[in-house]
A = this chain, B = another copy of it.
Amino acid sequence: MTVKHVFIRDVAPRDGFQIEPNLVPTDLKVHVINALGAAGVPGIEATSFVHPKAVPQMADAEEVMKQIRRYPSTRYSVLVPNLRGAQRALATGPDQLNLVVSASESHNRANLNRGTFETLAEHKAVAELSLKAGIPVQGGIATSFGCPFEGRIPIERVLTVVERYVEIGVTGIGLADTTGMANPIQVRRLVSAVKDRWPDLDVHLHFHNTRGMGLANVYAGFLEGVTHFDASLGGIGGCPFAPGATGNICTEDTVHMFSEMGLETGIDLDGLIQLSRRMEKALGHKLPGQVMKAGKTMDLHPLPPGISR
């Protein structure tokens, strides 16, 4: 394998904070986003332009975009659910819009109150608007690896959604395991099916660690040549269907794994770990990240008294 560099996008400010039980102050969001940029994280999903009534936690989207410091080497993307959200988002100068539709009809109805292909029709209008403004668009596909209501999603169904996204001019697609249902063999199967059909399409993977397979799925995707992964600082985030379960895969754990495997991420891992520990204190509850607790593999320990090598 000749891959030497992987790109991590931190989604804590959006996928993580949106599920926090208490309102996260704008100041803390700005602090986290700025520190992620300072640590060299190459992608940040900074906020979501969802309707504030639907997700009150994201009501400060404009304020966040206004207050953050923009590092030139970081791409600041924002989630937009619909045309109204895209209009609001584009006014704030993001580097990219992230769309999301669920591969499963029922999950899309539960999430966006309409069918998968109705949402994709609106996404066509969003893409036109955004591309006209010179802002690229990524097509995210929720429940790509399974739906909490319907179970397994046929690969053909996911490919149909990818096809629609490609038609409307997205620069890349994101395959999202929204509720942590993916396994490594399935990841390889879906990714290779997409890459067989669209060899030049950027494929981005978004995993949750709900059932402990998060980093195994990252490794499986990596083996299929994927180099773009979403992750969340400290592993914040969660799953409304599994209270107490962990959420998104943890950014610093993911960076640590790639670093141990000899890959470059361009990220200051120590800075990330410190930030994660600060965020844990600020949020006031334990985070699921492991490296923030155990330290890095190469943080060695002194020999016990009386023991020599």
Contacts and interface: CB of A to CB of B under 8 A. Distances in A.
Interface of A: 105-106, 109-110, 146, 148-151, 180-181, 183-186, 209-216, 218-220, 239, 241-242, 244-246, 250, 253, 256-257, 260-262, 289-291, 293-298, 300-304, 307-309
Chain A interface mostly: loop
Contact of A183 (B184, B211, B214, B261): B261
Given A211-B256, A212-B250, A290-B212, A149 B309 contact: yes
Contacts of A241: 301
7 contacts: A148-B300, A148-B301, A211-B257, A211-B291, A211-B294, A216-B218, A245-B290
- Residue from A184, A210, A291, A304 with most neighbouring chain B CB atoms (10 Å): A184
B298 A151 contact: yes
B242 A302 contact: no
A106 B151 CA distance: 50
Contacts of A186: 260-261
A175 B19 CA distance: 40
A308 B106 contact: yes
Best-buried of A149, A214, A215, A242 by chain B (most CB within 10 Å): A215
B106 A244 contact: no
A242 B294 contact: yes
A303 to B, nearest CB: 5
Given A109-B307, A242-B295, A215 B218 contact: no
A183 B255 CA distance: 12
The 6 closest A-B pairs by CB, nearest first: A245-B294, A242-B294, A183-B260, A212-B253, A212-B290, A215-B216
A253 B302 CA distance: 33
Contact of A213 (B184, B257, B293, B298): B257
A178 to B, nearest CB: 12
A300 B241 CA distance: 9
Contact of A150 (B150, B211, B300): B300
Contacts of A106: 303, 307-309
A283 to B, nearest CB: 17
A219 B309 CA distance: 33
A108 B301 CA distance: 15
Given A106-B308, A148-B301, A212-B257, 9 more contacts: A105-B309, A148-B300, A151-B300, A183-B260, A209-B290, A210-B294, A211-B291, A211-B296, A213-B260
